[in-house]
Structure 1
């Protein structure tokens, strides 16, 4: 049944459910701390060392009523812990999405429920209205957005850009090679343009943000920006290519 629901309706239900959860928990501005969110939703969070950056949603016996509990694995990266916790919160509130879609969760398979929890996690850490507002004010500068939404990873922010206006292509490089490239306007992203390669090379070698000059952009491309996300032993760059509005 979920496969028959239009993508726009499905996305609206996800965003609305996430906004409702944050409103109920009285979370009013970024960054969203999922440990605080879980507490305000009445969820207990406990560490169990089960898998790095992983979590499980269970119900632990507490007197006559089971207590909803999230068992969280260990991870040195705080963003991964936030993501794992957001995912389990998403699983606990997925019924809100099904309710908005007038769908029975019992009719959905495990993969569908897992997908909803994943997408809710992104919508909780990066709420749509807040992200659009912040993105418009900072010209979608990835590093500035990371400052505003500190609990979300650079990659998650970049992926959420694909669920926002305007039309863009997002490309991720790891260790000097492109590993994924997606667009929210085109069914298949075209090959990297010269302007994108130039911006990537500058960011990769200088470890500083880079932006293509207008004269370097081919027809149909409005802007190209690249940001380095470097750490010892690993070099990652993220490119955001904004397309002309007629795409």
Structure 2
């Protein structure tokens, strides 16, 4: 594969996503990926009939759709439906992206293809220029951003903050256990700081967004209102910025 930098890749992806959205009349959030995959690529989206679903080991299993058909389950969340369709859009964009990077489409391995889809889909639902502007305007408030980007889950919104310039650490905590903890300036372990632990306690008590400051860090936490776990998302910023 041709050598290119991460910045080259991000720039190409952002430009191709912007072009796709512009050609389809999408000039602001939220991005309706369910409509986009049908309008831009002609891929039909249907919903499986609950009565026709086969019972699987882990619950209902949707029927297999035709080639180039997306079949959504009745129990899928709105965010999950858009995420599935965004990944389908991303897959359709791969040949154009690879060609712009000087890579012959089809020569990439499956792992590279999967990674690239995983990079493109979030940038389609949360275009970099829009999200960077809106995140700063909202003071990186996850609740406010969720209102504006309502086709995107809380976790993806928080994860995209790691792609922005301001240094931060994003942690996802379920029932007190750290599921993930990542930083955009240096490697982060799953060990929480005292400020993060304090913030979790405040959020658990108030069941609303809270802020804690301790040990050189300012942490804001949000309770995620959906899902089977008592999930809290934390965004930590060093005070010495």
TM-score relative to the length of structure 1: 0.84
C-alpha distance in structure 1 between counterparts of 2:35 and 2:120, whole Å:
17
Which residue of 2 is the match for residue 218 of structure 1? Answer: 215
Pairs within 5 Å for 1:95-106: 95-106=95-106
* Cα deviation digits, residues 167-217 of structure 1 (max 9, x gap): 1100000122111000110033473211111111111232111111xxx33
C-alpha distance in structure 1 between counterparts of 2:154 and 2:215, whole Å:
27
Which residue of 1 is the match for residue 19 of structure 2? Answer: 20
Q: What is the DSSP-based 3-state SS (H/G/I as helix, E as strand, rest coil) of the residue aligned with 1:32?
A: coil
In the alignment, is the contact (CA less than 8 A) between 2:34 and 2:81 conserved in 1? no
Shift of 1:105: 2.2
1:79 aligns with 2:74: no
Shift of 1:245: 6.7
Q: What is the DSSP-based 3-state SS (H/G/I as helix, E as strand, rest coil) of the residue aligned with 1:44?
A: coil
C-alpha distance in structure 2 between counterparts of 1:29 and 1:54, whole Å:
34
C-alpha distance in structure 1 between counterparts of 2:155 and 2:62, whole Å:
16
Q: How many residues align?
A: 230
Name stretches of at least 5 consecutive residues in structure 2 with no aligned partner: 54-59
Higher strand residue share: 1
- Among 197, 222, 229, the alignment partner of 1:227 is 222
C-alpha distance in structure 2 between counterparts of 1:122 and 1:53, whole Å:
25
Name stretches of at least 5 consecutive residues in structure 1 with no aligned partner: 59-68
TM-score relative to the length of structure 2: 0.86
C-alpha distance in structure 2 between counterparts of 1:29 and 1:81, whole Å:
19
Query: Which aligned segments of 4 or more residues in structure 1 are displaced greater than 4 angstroms?
Result: 48-57
Which residue of 2 is the match for residue 139 of structure 1? Answer: 139
Q: Which moved more, 1:126-135 or 1:106-115?
A: 106-115
